[in-house]
Chains A and B, each alone.
Chain A
Amino acid sequence: MKIYLKIWRQDSPATPGAMKNYELDDVSADMSFLEMMDLLNESLIQKSERVVEFDHDCREGICGQCGMMINGRAHGPLTHTTTCQLHMRSFKDGDTIYIEPFRAAAFPIVRDLKVDRKAFDKIIQASGFTSASTGEAPEANGILIAHTIAEAAFDAAACIGCGACVATCKNSSAELFTSAKITQLALLPQGQVERADRVIAMVDQMDAEGFGHCTNTEACEVECPQEISVLHIARMNYEYNRASIISH
């Protein structure tokens, strides 16, 4: 099928960018979206033009690298899907597709569709971990965890840090991402020691990175490839209030 593309091109963080038009003739419905992008880049190479740069790694929906805004939606028209798991069968012959980078002040554009998501790492570095002295591996059954609690913590841990929640949020809030980590560790016995300090430090970092607040529109959960629940945000608020009242 024939596809018309309008893609954001920007040489460097400092230079202004603009949408540029491209056309592709032989796109197969079975191609993944990223394969379609590869096809475009091959044609650009043949014309000795600079390729469209975009992030990707696993191409199987688990690394969270492939973030882009497709037709005004994070990761494209499907819900709960990464860009690499989107296929061209979601589009029709003759369609025009707008492709832009995820936009938020905290996610500066590196080049074209590539953005710098270091701000997420900073939030995790602030306190998204548990401290333990190294030494011999502890006995596996030394700390008992109920199956339901373990599963709930796993659900929260499923976040792949793709940034779709920020990109789709009208406030560019990182609360879904941050709350998933806070909930995961608040649920587990290993997370209890630093529980109060963690939520305070991570929320402070979230603000310091320049992310916005949460209005509870719940758009993030719809676009999240891992279906991270917005109730984690409420849980983070609970943890924050608890920490503020009890220990800070």
Chain B
Amino acid sequence: MKQTTIQYKLVMAGTGLFLCFFLVIHLLGNLQLLLPAAEAQEQFNWYSHLLAGNMLIKIISWVLFIAIIAHAVYALILAGKTKKANGAKYVYDKRANVSPWNSRNMGLLGTVILIFLVIHLKDFWYVSDFTTMGLDKQGYKDMYSVVVLTFHQWWYIAIYELSFIALGFHLLHGFFSAARTLGLYHPKYVKLVRYTGWLYTAFITGGFMLIPIVVYLNN
């Protein structure tokens, strides 16, 4: 059966919200990196070891991978439909005056996130799963040192920070938009979701932005 545009959007909202949920777990775990260097090394390496050996985490990481691909593919399909629906362009176009820029540029922001994800997976997932790594005192893989080494150069930190800003603007629109797509229409709850979206975005973006800087300063 042919899918309707609303069904496409439901997939975007479902995968988007799943990714939103993942970001919370990912950030909470990584907040351990904010500890002083020695403690952080011990704790974080233990935590990484715990995750690496867990079957459930393996499954979730595959679901995550599929969700990102599906989210991006559906974004691409919808962009194609939009191009067709728009037809000829306006000669003089000031429509942008009446809507927030991030809501109009979700595709651009998403592309920045996608490029970041490739870099990010190469930095950590590739290094931990496909290269031989040094061990720490406890005998665990020394992920903390990999993190420290990654955030050693200022321009590398800059790439991460800029990507988090793009993520922040994506979430600011995405969180409330997904609720609308799912059909939340009551004015009372709509407001609640808006505020929750702001808080969520501030927490996620702020949290992730803090980590590279603190790790840099601690070492």
Instruction: Answer yes or no: are A and B bound together in one complex.
Output: yes
A positions within 8 Å CB-CB of B: 6, 8, 19, 69, 71-74, 79, 98, 100, 103-106, 168, 170-173, 203-204, 206-207, 210-219, 222-223, 230-235, 237-242
Could you tell me if B92 and A71 are in contact, using CB atoms closer than 8 angstroms? Answer: yes
Q: How far is the CB of A4 from chain B (nearest CB, A)?
A: 13
CB < 8 Å neighbour of B91 from A79, A98, A222, A240: A98
> Which B residues are in CB contact (< 8 Å) with A69?
90, 92
Stretch at the interface among B63-71, B155-163, B183-191: B183-191
Q: How far is the CB of A167 from chain B (nearest CB, A)?
A: 8
Could you tell me if B104 and A238 are in contact, using CB atoms closer than 8 angstroms? Answer: no
Could you tell me if A103 and B89 are in contact, using CB atoms closer than 8 angstroms? Answer: yes
Task: Tell which of B6, B104, B106 has the most Cβ of chain A within 10 Å.
Answer: B6
A-B contact pairs, 27 of them (CB 8 A): A6-B92, A69-B90, A72-B90, A73-B94, A73-B95, A98-B91, A103-B90, A104-B85, A170-B95, A171-B82, A172-B87, A203-B4, A210-B85, A212-B5, A214-B181, A216-B173, A216-B177, A216-B180, A219-B95, A219-B98, A231-B190, A233-B180, A234-B179, A234-B184, A238-B184, A239-B183, A241-B182
Cβ of B38 < 8 Å from any Cβ of A? no
Distance between Cα atoms of A128 and B184 in the complex (Å): 22
Distance between Cα atoms of A31 and B18 in the complex (Å): 55
Could you tell me if B6 and A240 are in contact, using CB atoms closer than 8 angstroms? Answer: yes
Q: Which residue in chain B gives the minimum CB-CB distance to A244?
A: B7
Distance between Cα atoms of A65 and B186 in the complex (Å): 31
Could you tell me if A214 and B9 are in contact, using CB atoms closer than 8 angstroms? Answer: yes
> Which A residues are in CB contact (< 8 Å) with B44?
none
Cβ of B137 < 8 Å from any Cβ of A? no
Could you tell me if B86 and A104 are in contact, using CB atoms closer than 8 angstroms? Answer: yes
Q: How far is the CB of A220 from chain B (nearest CB, A)?
A: 9
Q: A19-B91, A216-B180, A234-B185 are in contact. List 9 more A-B contacts (CB 8 A).
A: A106-B85, A173-B85, A210-B84, A214-B181, A215-B106, A216-B177, A235-B185, A237-B181, A239-B183
CB < 8 Å neighbour of A100 from B8, B92, B104, B184: B92
Given contact pairs A216-B173, A237-B181, A168 touches B95 in the complex (Cβ within 8 A): yes
Could you tell me if A212 and B95 are in contact, using CB atoms closer than 8 angstroms? Answer: no
Given contact pairs A215-B103, A234-B190, A204 touches B4 in the complex (Cβ within 8 A): yes
Given contact pairs A207-B4, A213-B8, A216-B177, A100 touches B98 in the complex (Cβ within 8 A): no
Distance between Cα atoms of A203 and B6 in the complex (Å): 8
Could you tell me if B98 and A168 are in contact, using CB atoms closer than 8 angstroms? Answer: yes
Q: Which residue in chain B gives the minimum CB-CB distance to A214?
A: B9
Distance between Cα atoms of A215 and B86 in the complex (Å): 14
> Which A residues are in CB contact (< 8 Å) with B95?
72-74, 168, 170, 219
Task: Tell which of B5, B89, B176, B190 has the most Cβ of chain A within 10 Å.
Answer: B5
> Which B residues are in CB contact (< 8 Å) with A173?
5, 85
Could you tell me if B85 and A217 are in contact, using CB atoms closer than 8 angstroms? Answer: no
Distance between Cα atoms of A230 and B78 in the complex (Å): 20
Could you tell me if B8 and A71 are in contact, using CB atoms closer than 8 angstroms? Answer: no
> Which A residues are in CB contact (< 8 Å) with B87?
103-105, 172
Could you tell me if B183 and A234 are in contact, using CB atoms closer than 8 angstroms? Answer: yes
Distance between Cα atoms of A210 and B80 in the complex (Å): 12
Could you tell me if B86 and A73 are in contact, using CB atoms closer than 8 angstroms? Answer: no
Cβ of B10 < 8 Å from any Cβ of A? yes
Distance between Cα atoms of A81 and B97 in the complex (Å): 16
Could you tell me if B98 and A73 are in contact, using CB atoms closer than 8 angstroms? Answer: yes
CB < 8 Å neighbour of B185 from A79, A106, A207, A238: A238
Distance between Cα atoms of A103 and B91 in the complex (Å): 10
Cβ of B81 < 8 Å from any Cβ of A? yes
CB < 8 Å neighbour of B78 from A104, A213, A223, A232: A213
Cβ of B129 < 8 Å from any Cβ of A? no
Could you tell me if A103 and B86 are in contact, using CB atoms closer than 8 angstroms? Answer: yes
Could you tell me if B81 and A213 are in contact, using CB atoms closer than 8 angstroms? Answer: yes
Q: Which residue in chain A gives the minimum CB-CB distance to B77?
A: A213
Could you tell me if A100 and B82 are in contact, using CB atoms closer than 8 angstroms? Answer: no
Q: Which residue in chain A gives the minimum CB-CB distance to B177?
A: A216
CB < 8 Å neighbour of B82 from A212, A218, A222, A239: A212
